[in-house]
Amino acid sequence: MAGLADTLLIPVPGLVLRKASPTGIYYAGMTKWGTKFSNDLGDLFESYVGRQLNLIPGAHVRPEIAYGPAKQPKLSVDWFVVCDDCVILVEAKSCGPTEPIRLGAPNAVAALTAKLGRGIEQLNTSARLISASTPGFGHIPTDRPLLGIVVTLEPFFAVNNPWTVGAALPECDIRYLVANVNELENLVSVTDQPVGTLLREHLTDPAHTGWSLGGALIGHEHGRNPVLDQAWESYPWHEQ
């Protein structure tokens, strides 16, 4: 037992790894800075999602639109991605599944609604504003299908299953899915099919009902993701 006092014991390595995950960092930040941290994280995550969307070849990415009274304007979804055969409405939610959701507790449905319900409502509202040719939305095309993605910081497993959607999330006027940011990072790097076409075919295929976005990307060819490459190269160890 000599020297044991100077040795680090890690009986559950997974707990250490989790501390460095988005969940671990999130709760550490919330503990130290409270809502200031979550507000900053939300702004940064929204910006990061936009950087990823701007990698889609041939797409035109438009930021959120302020509408309504000038003194108290409301905001649309965070991003509009105009593709040749569809328009993708994107709402970024810097959140992950809480303990009730992960464990399937009795209050899991309410917890899931609280986390993602607002994102679905934003898709609905923005789609209706586009269809109604609301002032300020004139640069968003109305001659092609509207699709939606709610992008989350962490995976919400099985969230796109019909039983989950029907029980926990509001009805949506457009076809949509919930995807985590890692799935988005992979989607924008697809090279063998236009991203808009891939998403439209996936969301309109009855055989893919309930699938995750990750499942739709299986078998597709991917290029490098420049945003991820740039992030990796910013670390000191990449040259070692």
The interaxial angle of helices 226-233 and 35-53, nearest 10 deg, is 130
Question: How close are the terminal C-alpha atoms of the chain, in Å?
Answer: 36
Which residue from 136, 44, 33, 49 is spatially nearest to 89, judged by alpha carbons?
Answer: 49
88, 58 contact by CB (below 8 A): no
Look at residue 240 in the predicted model and tell me its pLDDT. 59
What's the pTM? 0.90
The answer to which of 6-10, 34-38, 40-44, 73-77 has the lowest mean pLDDT is 6-10
Instruction: Give the three-state DSSP class for 203.
Output: helix
Mean of the pLDDT values across residues 2-8?
61
Residue ranges covered by each domain of the chain: 57-65+75-239
Mean of the pLDDT values across residues 107-136?
96
Task: Label residue 192 by pLDDT band (50, 70, 90).
Answer: very high
Q: Is the pLDDT of residue 46 over 70?
A: yes
